Amino acid sequence: MAAPSPFDDVTFPSFSELPFRKGDPPGAIWGFYEHVSKSEAKDELGALNLLTPSRILRASQSEIKTGKVCSLNWELHKPFPAAFGRKGLEHKVFWMKAVKSTFVVDDEVSMNTQCGSQWDGFKHFSYYATHQFYNGLDVEDVLDESQGYVGKYNALDKPMRNGIHKFQGKIVGRGVLLDYYSYAQTQGKPYAPSESVAITAQDLEDCAKAQGLQFEQGDILFVRTGYIHWFESATEEERENGLQLAKGYVGVRPTMEEVEWLWNHHFAAVASDCPSFEALPTTEKWSLHDYLLPLWGTPIGEFFDLEKLSKTCKELGRYSFFLTSSPLNVVNGIASPPNAMAIF
């Protein structure tokens, strides 16, 4: 029997009732999880609190039936070149000469943790109007202005608030896939994933209905836009053009309709296969990142490889699965490759 948790059955305020605490930014849920758990410590898990032992146990019992496993990790060097001007993967293989009796081969990797498949942690994106991260963490607690806005803490320092290390052992539960790319094709609405295409809340709802998918509180949502499908079949020139921010990216439309749709479903985390979970560019001052990360504490995943997952879901005729993901245990880290698997 799973240990009970105060987050097993949470009654959230409506979106119109936010912020939860007077004086916080509009839409913020800061202080709510502490209120539910009666904890005096600042919450650092946000929506991941919903992945309770009972939800994990229930998901394992209801979703694991065939033993099929799908990795959701794109090859670590992709996309190449890296988007947004970030440093891509550098990989070095060499002879480690300390052992003299034989050849011992080591390798080293260096990369920006945002350059490929990734989870965004809660110190990655601050709310645009106040420059605060999740649960009121000020940017001054993360970056040192006097030193040119370099990070104040790294992995060798004392663990501080909102580091990616807090995600250890927390991203486990029921995953759900909205294969919107396939759905759009069946509906006679094909599109080019390399261009700016906005997927609306109604699109997502219609896709879920067509798939026979029922959402549950605490689901880990994946949206397949077809971006990786396009990338893998594109020419080098097409890839370079398709990674230019000026052209925009496919994703979920960033309007208040989508914000409220996401809020009302209370996902534990959201992810997609494209460069940014929301469609870019946006005409608003804010983006979905503003709501999901700093205001709600909902992790965002990007560049997840959902190709095998979509085929498996179609083959089995169901779009829910058991999901486990173990980000790198980097103290004070900002983001991480997901190390994610879907199990059916």
* Six token digits for residue 69: 């496993």
CA distance 337 to 73: 8
Provide the edge-to-edge strand list for the sheet that holds 269-272. 69-71, 340-343, 320-325, 171-178, 220-223, 269-272, 300-302, 118-120, 335-336
Question: Omega into 254 within 30° of 0, i.e. cis?
Answer: no
Q: Which has the closest alpha carbon to 336: 180, 197, 171, 175?
A: 171
The radius of gyration computed from the CA coordinates of the chain, to the nearest angstrom, equals 20
CA distance 339 to 344: 17
Q: Which has the closest alpha carbon to 330: 144, 168, 99?
A: 168
Helix axis angle, 201-211 to 256-265, nearest 10°: 40
**Spans of the chain, pLDDT less than 50:** none
Q: Which residues make Cβ contacts (< 8 Å) with residue 324, sequence separation at least 6? A: 171, 172, 340, 341, 343
At residue 16, what are phi and psi to the nearest 5 degrees?
-70, -15
DSSP letters, 150-164, are EES--TTS---TT-G
CA distance 299 to 310: 22
pTM of the full structure: 0.96
Q: For residue 245, what pLDDT is reported?
A: 65
CA distance 81 to 59: 37
CA distance 67 to 57: 16
Q: Is there a contact between 117 and 328 (Cβ–Cβ < 8 Å)? A: no
DSSP letters, 99-151, are --SS--EEEEEE--TTSSSEEE-TTS---TTT-EEGGGEEGGGTEEGGGTSEE
CATH T-level topology, domain 15-77+115-343: Glucose Oxidase; domain 1 (3.50.30)
